[in-house]
Amino acid sequence: MAGVGTVKAALGGLTLGAQKVAAAGVHVATGKQSYYDTLRTLSQASVDQHFEAFRDIAWDSPEFEVFKNDPRFILNEADEIGRHPWYKSLSRERQIEIGMYRYAQVAKVGSQFEMLLIGGIMNHNVWAENGNPEFRYSMHEVTEETHHIQMFQEGVNRCDIDVAGAPTYFKVLFPFLASAGMWAPEIFFTGILAGEEPIDHLQKSIMRAGGSHPMIDRIMQIHIAEEARHIGFAHQWMEHHVPELGFVRKQIFAATFPLIMRILCDVIMVPSKQARRDMGIPDEVAKEIWWDSEDSDKMLRDLFSDVRMLGDELGIRGAIYRPLWKLMGIDGRSARFRAEPVIANS
């Protein structure tokens, strides 16, 4: 099982990539030159420290073996299902079955979301000007996301559970959502953050709580390390480009930002109806977990503390649009710095 030192390494920014993101000053860049310098630093970090799905995960290691009735799949308190009294009341066997399904389901949704990200970036980059550092870094990100998809899917395959992943409507809308990278890149980058921020928060919380099955832990460690760069890029892109939007386009962006955050958060965080049936989660329990209880309301707000900070920086969380944030359940105090621990208030 993953040791405490390994968990701390994944969360403490000890990878070279995470260090270089911090060194780049992801939230303080001003002006085009500083922005481009940050992108070049991120690109070099991707060269210096990156992971490959079938080189950096010891899939055939004995401790990575997946077998039925493995207690390492029991969900811990960091997972919203794992901390609910209904789950805790179940037999050990059922807890393991649900835990294994849960990890496979989240991994499948994650891989599908990464596919959307790649499609949107390609639609965006087809218009990129020669010499633009955004092109190089975003292609590094695509390479990394490709490996994420491979490791997520391999994890699903080894759990040997036939999970469908995202809801059907998401998969039907997939090509239209990816096209936003071309016609509305600010909306596309909002979508990136709407998916990446919640899963990053969930994975860090699970690792801080002690982790789970070693195979799952290794996948999360790699994802956390590289997502630091990806989320940093999305923040930087918005900080650089949103001020360039015209008045009408910026108002549309401000109005849709909290809506997209909440909708795609639900795609990532809330199991589909089929998944809930497969896990045997009663409707009343599902309602409490997502998002109709004091505990779940707070969790939803906690997921978006970094996004609220970004919204403040972009000037899109003022008096006019603040009610939308509250209506979506994602309002609260903004983070003071990226990845600040749980802080959201009512």
Q: What is the pLDDT of residues 52-86, one digit of tens each?
A: 999 999 999 999 999 989 999 999 999 999 999 99
- Lowest average pLDDT, out of 11-15, 126-130, 152-156, 286-290, goes to 11-15
CA–CA distance, 61 with 58 (Å, rounded to integer): 5
pLDDT at 21 over 50: no
Determine the pLDDT at residue 248: 96
Which band of pLDDT confidence, cut at 50, 70 and 90, is reported for residue 30?
Answer: low
pLDDT at 263 over 90: yes
Provide the CA 342 distance to its chain's centre, in angstroms.
16
Q: Which amino acid is at 83?
A: R
Is the confidence at residue 127, as pLDDT, over 90?
Answer: yes
- b/e burial code for range 308-338 (CB count within 10 A of at least 16 → b): bbbbeebebbeeebeebbeebbbbbebbeeb
Tell me whether residue 85 is in a domain.
yes
Residue 346 lies in a domain: no
Q: Is 338 inside a domain boundary?
A: no
Give the model confidence (pLDDT) of 293-346 as tens digits. 998 999 999 999 999 999 999 999 989 999 999 999 999 999 888 767 665 444
Whether residue 154 has pLDDT greater than 70: yes
Q: How confident is the model at residue 6 (pLDDT cuts 50, 70, 90)?
A: very low
At 3, is the pLDDT very low, low, confident or very high (cuts 50, 70, 90)?
Answer: very low
Task: Output the CA angle 162-168-172, nearest 5 degrees.
Answer: 125
Which of 94-98, 204-208, 251-255 comes out lowest in average pLDDT? 204-208
Q: Count of domains in the chain?
A: 1
Residue 141 domain flag: yes
The 10s digit of each residue's pLDDT in 205-231 is: 999 999 999 999 999 999 999 999 999
Torsion angle (degrees, nearest 10) of CA 234, 317, 301, 236? 10
Say what the pLDDT of residue 342 is. Answer: 63
CATH code for the domain in which residue 162 is found: 1.10.620.20
Q: Are 177 and 116 in contact (CB under 8 A)?
A: yes
Q: Is residue 118 part of a domain?
A: yes
Q: Which DSSP category does 115 fall into?
A: H
Would you say residue 341 lies in a domain?
A: no
In a domain? residue 287: yes
Nearest to 97 by CA among 161, 2, 175, 169: 161
Residue 193 pLDDT > 90, yes or no? Answer: yes
Residue-range definition of the domain harbouring residue 289: 4-327
| Residue 10 pLDDT exceeds 50 | no
* Residue 336 within a domain: no
Residue type, 81: I
In the chain, % of residues over pLDDT 90:
83
- Provide the pLDDT for residue 22: 42
- Indicate the pTM of the whole model: 0.88
